[in-house]
Amino acid sequence: MFRKSLFTAVTLSSVLLASCGGTGSAKTITLGALGPLTGDASSYGIDMQNAASLAVKDINAAWAAEGMTLELQWENGACNGKDGATAAQKLVDVDGAQVILGGFCSSETLAAAPITEAAKVLLFSPGSSSPDVTNAGDYVYRDWPSDSYQGTKLAEFANENGWKTVAMVSEETDYAKGIAGAFTARFQELGGTVTEEKYLSEDTDFKTQITKLNAGAPDAWFVNPQTPVKADVLFKQMQDLGIEGPFLLNDVAGTSNDLLTNYKDYLEGSYTATLYIDEESEGVKAFKANYEATYGSQPNYLGYDLTTYDAVWILANAVLEVGNNGEAVKAYLDSFTGYDGLAGHTDFDANGDPLAGHSVYKIVSGAIVKQ
């Protein structure tokens, strides 16, 4: 039932768009929003903002009858803890936000959590995947699965392929560390060996790391960066140094359309693990069409866009029912029976983590194919 109404909202949104602009509404609900709007990770932040705006548009169309409007107040977390904390502080103290969509990067969410917890503000991330977010606080929820799934899935997959040694190059960030930790733990449990080399986010030359890892003649490589641009430099330097796969890629390196196109031949036959999205579903097709009609391009990170879109709807439904109050929304989510959105069925465990997980995908001529 809900799904149907949501679908109608998506398809009608472009028609209704004209009618919801500029009408001074009696009641406006403002939610905080926190994401990386500048820096290397802004490519996610902009996608997140676009997807959230589409959701807001659709929600306002659905709410028009009741004379309600939803608004998002954005702050920039710049994909790091320092800016994430400042942004959360501002949303909580200055803007008086009770419910915040975000952060996007795990570093933002983990830094924002202590601030929102203390103020009993609900923090809902559509993209943070660090396993640490699981225990970040009682008021912290997310609809993007923890990387412990991603790391574990790829480790089991590598083991099934008979690979015994994996060379991993990781960025020193919460997201990449989460994946590296989960992968290494599971792969070692299964009898494999992982050699890891790290780099700092400000580093730009990875030839030493690659040369060092290649000396161990690994069975497979695991490329684990925080942002697509770092993946780009890594792929280029690996290619220059004659490194050949098989490659396991985290979902940043393995699902960016630009990278899959630019390194089509090099990445052929690589594997990645990401949240399962049914791209053939009517809702997703309509979302993609709507996104392209509004922003002039296909979404670069469809998975994150869909969890963002769903997250805004979940929060909107919550505040509509129980009011714009952190504690009330927490109670609502705790007695939640699930939401059928574009990214599939979302429901939470006791820690506020989604119950759905990752699936392994193979890269075939520049596209990801579910295994």
Q: Give the residue with the Cβ less far from other proteins, 139 or 266.
A: 266
CB of 40 to other proteins, least distance (A): 5
**Amino acid (one-letter) located at 84:** G
To other proteins, the closest distance from the beta carbon of 317 in angstroms equals 34
CB closer to other proteins out of 60 and 250: 250
HEC per residue, the chain: CHHHHHHHHHHHHHHHHHHHCCCCCCEEEEEEEEECCCCCCHHHHHHHHHHHHHHHHHHHHHHHHHCEEEEEEEEECCCCHHHHHHHHHHHHHHCCCCEEECCCCHHHHHHHHHHHHHCCCEEEECCCCCHHHHHCCCCEEECCCCHHHHHHHHHHHHHHCCCCEEEEEEECCHHHHHHHHHHHHHHHHCCCEEEEEEECCCCCCCHHHHHHHHCCCCCEEEEECCCHHHHHHHHHHHHHCCCCCCEEECHHHHHCHHHHHHCCCCCCCCEEEEECCCCCCHHHHHHHHHHHHHHCCCCCCHHHHHHHHHHHHHHHHHHHHHCCCHHHHHHHHHCCCCEEECCEEECECCCCCECCCEEEEEEECCEEEEC
CB closer to other proteins out of 202 and 349? 202
CB of 196 vs other proteins, minimal distance in Å: 9
Minimum CB distance to other proteins, residue 105 (Å) = 14
Nearest to 226 by CA among 209, 202, 242: 202
Written as one letter, the residue type at 86 is T
Closest CB to other proteins among residues 202, 280: 202
Residue 290: CB atoms within 10 A of its CB come to 18
- 86 vs 214, beta carbon nearer other proteins: 214
Q: Rank residues 73 and 214 by Cβ distance to other proteins and give the closer one.
A: 214
- For other proteins, the closer of residues 160 and 205 by Cβ is 205
Q: Minimum distance from CB of 243 to other proteins (Å)? A: 10
Cβ closer to other proteins: 171 or 310? 171
Give the nearest distance from C-beta 25 to other proteins in angstroms.
Answer: 34
Least distance to other proteins from the beta carbon of 355, Å? 34
Residues that bind other proteins (CB under 8 A): 38-40, 42-43, 172, 197-200, 202-209, 211-212, 214-215, 217, 227, 229-230, 232-233, 236, 239-242, 262
Distance CA 140, CA 149 (A): 19
Q: Which residues are bridge partners to 169 per DSSP?
A: 197, 223
**Smallest distance, Å, CB 311 to other proteins?**
24
Of 190 and 241, the one with the shorter C-beta distance to other proteins is: 241
- As measured in angstroms, the least distance from the Cβ of 172 to other proteins is 6
